Amino acid sequence: MNFVEERIVMDGVVRPKGVLKVDAFLNHQMDMEFLDAIALEFTKRFAGTPVTKVLTIEASGIAIAASVARELKVPLVVAKKTRSMNLDGDLYVAEVLSFSHKNINTIVVGKKYLSEGEQILIIDDIMANGCAMQGLISIVEDAEAHVAGCGVVIEKAFQEGSDRIRNLGYRLESLAIIKSMDSETGKITFAE
Protein backbone atom coordinates (compact mmCIF):
# COMPACT_ATOMS: atom_id res chain seq x y z
CA MET A 1 0.00 0.00 0.00
CA ASN A 2 1.14 3.55 -0.69
CA PHE A 3 0.83 6.36 1.88
CA VAL A 4 -2.62 7.42 0.65
CA GLU A 5 -4.03 3.88 0.82
CA GLU A 6 -2.51 3.44 4.28
CA ARG A 7 -4.15 6.63 5.51
CA ILE A 8 -7.53 5.62 4.07
CA VAL A 9 -7.33 2.26 5.84
CA MET A 10 -6.29 3.94 9.09
CA ASP A 11 -8.70 6.91 9.19
CA GLY A 12 -11.36 6.33 6.52
CA VAL A 13 -14.81 5.01 7.34
CA VAL A 14 -16.85 2.90 4.91
CA ARG A 15 -20.57 3.67 4.91
CA PRO A 16 -23.39 1.96 3.04
CA LYS A 17 -24.22 2.82 -0.60
CA GLY A 18 -20.62 3.36 -1.69
CA VAL A 19 -19.89 6.25 0.67
CA LEU A 20 -16.36 6.62 2.05
CA LYS A 21 -15.86 9.18 4.82
CA VAL A 22 -12.41 10.77 4.72
CA ASP A 23 -13.44 13.74 6.87
CA ALA A 24 -10.69 13.14 9.41
CA PHE A 25 -7.75 14.00 7.15
CA LEU A 26 -8.81 15.00 3.64
CA ASN A 27 -11.93 17.11 3.31
CA HIS A 28 -13.28 18.38 6.62
CA GLN A 29 -10.25 18.31 8.89
CA MET A 30 -7.12 18.48 6.76
CA ASP A 31 -3.65 17.30 7.60
CA MET A 32 -1.45 19.79 5.74
CA GLU A 33 1.64 17.55 5.72
CA PHE A 34 -0.46 14.82 4.11
CA LEU A 35 -1.83 17.30 1.56
CA ASP A 36 1.69 18.42 0.68
CA ALA A 37 2.79 14.80 0.24
CA ILE A 38 -0.16 14.35 -2.12
CA ALA A 39 0.88 17.45 -4.06
CA LEU A 40 4.42 16.10 -4.39
CA GLU A 41 3.10 12.78 -5.67
CA PHE A 42 0.94 14.50 -8.32
CA THR A 43 3.86 16.65 -9.47
CA LYS A 44 6.00 13.50 -9.79
CA ARG A 45 3.33 11.74 -11.82
CA PHE A 46 2.81 14.72 -14.12
CA ALA A 47 6.53 15.56 -14.37
CA GLY A 48 7.34 16.50 -17.95
CA THR A 49 3.74 17.55 -18.66
CA PRO A 50 3.51 21.32 -19.13
CA VAL A 51 0.94 22.89 -16.77
CA THR A 52 0.04 26.58 -16.78
CA LYS A 53 -2.80 26.42 -14.24
CA VAL A 54 -4.43 24.07 -11.75
CA LEU A 55 -8.23 23.93 -11.85
CA THR A 56 -10.54 22.52 -9.18
CA ILE A 57 -14.15 22.90 -8.04
CA GLU A 58 -15.31 24.20 -4.68
CA ALA A 59 -15.20 23.13 -2.00
CA SER A 60 -13.56 19.90 -0.86
CA GLY A 61 -10.74 19.81 -3.42
CA ILE A 62 -9.53 23.37 -2.88
CA ALA A 63 -6.86 22.78 -0.22
CA ILE A 64 -5.41 19.84 -2.17
CA ALA A 65 -5.41 21.73 -5.46
CA ALA A 66 -3.81 24.73 -3.73
CA SER A 67 -0.94 22.49 -2.56
CA VAL A 68 -0.48 21.19 -6.11
CA ALA A 69 -0.53 24.72 -7.58
CA ARG A 70 2.05 25.85 -5.00
CA GLU A 71 4.29 22.90 -5.86
CA LEU A 72 4.00 23.61 -9.61
CA LYS A 73 4.33 27.40 -9.08
CA VAL A 74 1.24 28.13 -11.17
CA PRO A 75 -2.06 29.88 -10.31
CA LEU A 76 -5.04 27.97 -8.96
CA VAL A 77 -8.48 28.54 -10.46
CA VAL A 78 -11.51 27.40 -8.46
CA ALA A 79 -14.75 26.76 -10.35
CA LYS A 80 -17.60 28.14 -8.29
CA LYS A 81 -20.87 26.37 -7.63
CA THR A 82 -23.88 28.54 -7.96
CA ARG A 83 -27.60 28.15 -8.06
CA SER A 84 -27.98 31.75 -9.15
CA MET A 85 -28.72 32.65 -12.75
CA ASN A 86 -27.71 36.20 -11.90
CA LEU A 87 -24.11 35.61 -12.96
CA ASP A 88 -21.91 38.57 -13.48
CA GLY A 89 -19.47 38.92 -16.34
CA ASP A 90 -18.33 36.50 -18.98
CA LEU A 91 -18.36 32.98 -17.63
CA TYR A 92 -17.79 29.43 -18.76
CA VAL A 93 -20.65 27.35 -17.40
CA ALA A 94 -21.29 23.61 -16.87
CA GLU A 95 -23.95 21.55 -15.11
CA VAL A 96 -22.74 19.02 -12.55
CA LEU A 97 -24.68 16.29 -10.74
CA SER A 98 -23.26 15.74 -7.25
CA PHE A 99 -22.95 12.14 -6.04
CA SER A 100 -22.69 13.19 -2.37
CA HIS A 101 -25.47 15.74 -2.37
CA LYS A 102 -27.81 14.30 -5.03
CA ASN A 103 -28.38 17.70 -6.58
CA ILE A 104 -27.39 19.55 -9.73
CA ASN A 105 -25.03 22.48 -9.45
CA THR A 106 -24.14 25.01 -12.06
CA ILE A 107 -20.40 25.56 -12.01
CA VAL A 108 -18.75 28.63 -13.45
CA VAL A 109 -15.29 29.97 -14.23
CA GLY A 110 -14.61 33.56 -15.27
CA LYS A 111 -13.54 33.64 -18.91
CA LYS A 112 -10.52 35.77 -18.14
CA TYR A 113 -9.05 33.03 -15.94
CA LEU A 114 -8.80 30.35 -18.64
CA SER A 115 -7.22 31.24 -21.96
CA GLU A 116 -6.92 29.51 -25.30
CA GLY A 117 -3.92 27.19 -25.45
CA GLU A 118 -3.36 26.96 -21.69
CA GLN A 119 -2.35 23.62 -20.17
CA ILE A 120 -4.77 22.84 -17.36
CA LEU A 121 -4.24 20.22 -14.66
CA ILE A 122 -7.58 19.37 -13.04
CA ILE A 123 -7.38 18.23 -9.41
CA ASP A 124 -10.12 16.95 -7.08
CA ASP A 125 -10.35 14.95 -3.87
CA ILE A 126 -12.59 12.04 -4.85
CA MET A 127 -13.90 10.64 -8.12
CA ALA A 128 -17.25 8.86 -7.85
CA ASN A 129 -19.54 9.31 -10.86
CA GLY A 130 -17.05 11.67 -12.53
CA CYS A 131 -19.60 14.43 -13.13
CA ALA A 132 -17.55 17.14 -11.43
CA MET A 133 -14.49 16.18 -13.49
CA GLN A 134 -16.54 16.10 -16.70
CA GLY A 135 -17.94 19.55 -15.93
CA LEU A 136 -14.43 20.89 -15.38
CA ILE A 137 -13.19 19.25 -18.60
CA SER A 138 -16.04 20.79 -20.58
CA ILE A 139 -15.16 24.22 -19.19
CA VAL A 140 -11.48 23.78 -20.16
CA GLU A 141 -12.54 22.78 -23.67
CA ASP A 142 -15.00 25.66 -23.97
CA ALA A 143 -12.00 27.89 -23.26
CA GLU A 144 -10.06 26.14 -26.05
CA ALA A 145 -7.47 25.28 -23.44
CA HIS A 146 -5.89 21.82 -23.17
CA VAL A 147 -6.52 19.28 -20.40
CA ALA A 148 -2.95 18.47 -19.33
CA GLY A 149 -4.34 15.75 -17.07
CA CYS A 150 -6.74 14.92 -14.28
CA GLY A 151 -5.66 13.95 -10.77
CA VAL A 152 -7.78 12.68 -7.90
CA VAL A 153 -6.67 11.52 -4.49
CA ILE A 154 -9.25 8.72 -4.31
CA GLU A 155 -10.84 6.94 -7.27
CA LYS A 156 -13.87 4.81 -6.52
CA ALA A 157 -13.30 2.42 -9.41
CA PHE A 158 -16.55 0.57 -8.65
CA GLN A 159 -18.45 3.68 -9.76
CA GLU A 160 -18.50 4.78 -13.37
CA GLY A 161 -16.58 8.07 -13.25
CA SER A 162 -13.00 6.94 -13.79
CA ASP A 163 -13.81 4.66 -16.74
CA ARG A 164 -15.82 7.44 -18.30
CA ILE A 165 -12.93 9.93 -18.05
CA ARG A 166 -10.33 7.43 -19.34
CA ASN A 167 -12.66 6.31 -22.16
CA LEU A 168 -12.89 9.92 -23.27
CA GLY A 169 -9.12 9.78 -23.72
CA TYR A 170 -8.01 11.87 -20.76
CA ARG A 171 -5.10 10.95 -18.56
CA LEU A 172 -6.38 10.30 -15.04
CA GLU A 173 -3.98 9.78 -12.17
CA SER A 174 -5.54 8.46 -8.95
CA LEU A 175 -3.38 8.11 -5.85
CA ALA A 176 -5.63 5.42 -4.36
CA ILE A 177 -7.91 3.28 -6.53
CA ILE A 178 -10.64 1.53 -4.58
CA LYS A 179 -11.96 -1.60 -6.27
CA SER A 180 -14.50 -2.45 -3.61
CA MET A 181 -15.60 -1.53 -0.10
CA ASP A 182 -17.71 -3.42 2.41
CA SER A 183 -19.64 -1.28 4.85
CA GLU A 184 -20.34 -4.22 7.14
CA THR A 185 -16.74 -5.30 7.67
CA GLY A 186 -15.16 -1.93 6.78
CA LYS A 187 -12.83 -3.74 4.39
CA ILE A 188 -11.43 -1.71 1.49
CA THR A 189 -9.81 -3.43 -1.49
CA PHE A 190 -7.44 -1.38 -3.62
CA ALA A 191 -6.46 -2.00 -7.23
CA GLU A 192 -2.90 -3.31 -7.69
The rounded distance, in Å, linking the Cα atoms of 120 and 9 is 31
Between the CA of residue 174 and those of 113, 156, 184, what are the distances in Å? 26, 9, 25
In whole angstroms, give the CA distance from residue 106 to residue 87: 11
- The span of 69-77, 130-138, 142-150, 169-177 binding a copy of itself (CB under 8 A) equals 69-77
Which one among 9, 18, 52, 80 touches a copy of itself, defined by CB under 8 A? 80
Query: Are the beta carbons of 154 and 14 closer than 8 angstroms?
Result: no
Name which position in 4, 62, 132, 136 contacts a copy of itself (CB under 8 A): 62
Site string for a copy of itself, 85-124 (x = CB under 8 A): ----------------x-------xx-xx-----------
173 binds a copy of itself (CB under 8 A): no
Window 152-171: contact mask with a copy of itself (x via CB under 8 A)? --------------------
Cβ(152)–Cβ(171) under 8 Å? no
Interatomic CA distance for residues 126 and 23, integer angstroms? 12
CA 176 to CA 103: how far, in whole Å?
26
* Interacting residues with a copy of itself (CB under 8 A): 23-24, 27-33, 35-36, 58-60, 62-63, 66-67, 69-70, 73-78, 80-81, 84, 101, 109-110, 112-113
